[in-house]
Amino acid sequence: GLMFDKASTRTRVSFEVAMGRLGGQTLFLSKADTQMSRDEPVKDTARVLSRYLDVLAVRTYAQALVEEMARWASIPIINALTDMYHPCQILSDLMTVKEKRGTLDNLKVAWIGDGNNVAHSWINAARILGFKLVLACPPAYTPDPVVMKGCGREITLVTDPVEAVQDADIINTDVWASMGQEKERGKRLADFQGFQVNASLVSKAKPDVLIMHCLPAHRSEEISEEVLEGDRSAVFDQAENKMHLHQALLEMLVIGNK
Ligand code: CP
Ligand code: NVA
């Protein structure tokens, strides 16, 4: 099952195709069409859906909803993006890095822009795998201190994008206004000036630096057209790898469980 309460192109389609490639079926459930939109409790929904499904991916706003679903469900619950995290994205992004560089060893990743859900999952990945991550964010848009808590010296926060990309193997960015932040868009566009990933910034990194963006992208905002479409850009391979990674994840969670 795929229960989504926010828009999606890549995550939804890649999960559906991945399950089909494994010989399974998917049910897409817009949360608004379920009884959850009429206040059926998460704990009831989770137990009922566990009777029908083998696995459920949830895309929503509150991280607490996914965690409550996981507490009550007897099937695996996959976080398909919340306001706080986007773990599947980083799994497939790391697959892309490994494919392009051969290894995740001695990796330096720069994150430029908003300290958002995707940044939070990069922080978690760096903490688990031990690679170097430097995040350059405007002061009001740094990652949540809850996520930063306990981070070692390998994960650093700066305010200067040029400092962050020095010797970077990967430059990563994402939109300045995420889903649910539409009303802040005007203010954010002003606050993020100077944080665009463009040719001038990329020239300060290693010559073979890989440019990553989970997509959807806003050209001329967080990333220039030239860089997004340039030969260092990995964005469409990232998008493809979501399908392969989701296939592996479903195999592990569903078939591997039986
Ligand atoms: N990268 C990503 O999660 O894209 P969608 O919002 O299209 O699923
Ligand atoms: N940070 C973005 C990622 C979209 C895949 C958002 O949450 O809208």
pLDDT band of 257, cuts 50, 70, 90 = low
**pTM of the predicted model as reported, rounded to 2 decimal places:** 0.97
Query: Which ligand has the nearest atom to the CA of 80?
Result: 1
Ligand 1 centroid to residue 153 C-alpha, Å: 30
Q: Could you read off the pLDDT of 16-45 as tens digits, one per residue?
A: 999 999 999 999 999 999 999 999 999 999
Q: Give the ligand 2 atom nearest the CA of 116.
A: 1
In the chain the first and final C-alpha atoms are separated, in Å, by 18
Ligand 2 centroid to residue 51 C-alpha, Å: 31
Ligand 2 centroid to residue 213 C-alpha, Å: 10
Query: Which ligand has the nearest atom to the CA of 4?
Result: 1
**Spatial CB neighbours of 198, under 8 Å, sequence gap ≥ 6:** 223, 224, 226, 227
Residue 258 has pLDDT above 60, yes or no: no
SS3 content of the chain, % helix, strand, coil (to 5): 45, 15, 40
State what percent of residues in the chain have pLDDT above 90: 97
Query: Which ligand has the nearest atom to the CA of 82?
Result: 2
C-beta separation of 214 from 93 below 8 A: yes
Q: Give the ligand 1 atom nearest the CA of 239.
A: 1
Ligand 1 centroid to residue 216 C-alpha, Å: 7
Let me know how many helices (H) and strands (E) the chain has, helices first: 11, 9
C-beta separation of 213 from 227 below 8 A: no
Looking at residue 96, its amino acid is T
Q: Name the residue at shortest CA distance from atom 6 of ligand 1.
A: 8
Mutation choice for ligand 1 from 11, 173, 175, CB with most ligand atoms inside 8 A: 11
State what percent of residues in the chain have pLDDT above 70: 99
**For the residues 88-106, what does the mean pLDDT come to?**
97
